[in-house]
């Protein structure tokens, strides 16, 4: 079974940093596109970053502040979040989708992610 476990969330002051981790089991990281999503209260879930064989993607509002990276040996994808803002407050989720489900080189942004973690809360105080 595919399992994704997020960690690293917490409470931080504006301008601070957090690093989220998405540990995957039951998958080989390089065979899957991995996306980071967030959902704030009353708002729709949005994809903020992802990584796959088609490259990486960042939501415009996080460009230059967030960095996605992958450690294949640990089967873990990280999201380094710097210069955090109160509007970054949300539950953050990672999701996975087999690369084989889309043409090679397809953007990871619009994949039909089928495997999801439980989420981790990020709260940024002003």
For residue 100, give every residue at least 6 positions away whose Cβ sits within 8 Å of its Cβ, in sequence order, or none: 31
Q: What gap in Å lies between CA 82 and CA 95, rounded to an integer?
A: 21
- Place 42 in a pLDDT band, splitting at 50, 70 and 90: very high
pLDDT average, residue stretch 49-60: 95
101, 112 contact by CB (below 8 A): yes
How many C-beta atoms surround the C-beta of residue 120 within 10 A? 21
The residue-averaged pLDDT of 29-54 equals 94
Tell whether the model's pLDDT for residue 29 goes beyond 90. Answer: no
pLDDT tier for residue 108 given thresholds of 50, 70 and 90: very high
Q: How far is CA 18 from the centre of its chain?
A: 13
């Amino acid at each position: 079974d595919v399992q994704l476990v997020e960690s690293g969330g917490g409470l931080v002051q504006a301008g601070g940093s957090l690093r989220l981790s998405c540990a995957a089991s039951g998958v080989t990281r390089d065979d899957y596109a991995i996306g980071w999503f967030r959902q704030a209260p009353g708002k729709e879930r949005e994809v903020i970053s992802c990584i796959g064989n088609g490259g990486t993607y960042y939501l415009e509002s996080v460009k230059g502040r967030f960095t996605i990276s992958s450690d294949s040996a640990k089967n873990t994808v990280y999201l380094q979040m710097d210069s955090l803002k109160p509007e970054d407050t949300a539950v953050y989720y990672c999701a996975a989708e087999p690369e084989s489900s889309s043409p090679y080189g397809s953007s990871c942004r619009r994949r039909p992610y089928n495997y999801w973690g439980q989420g981790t809360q990020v709260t940024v105080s002003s």
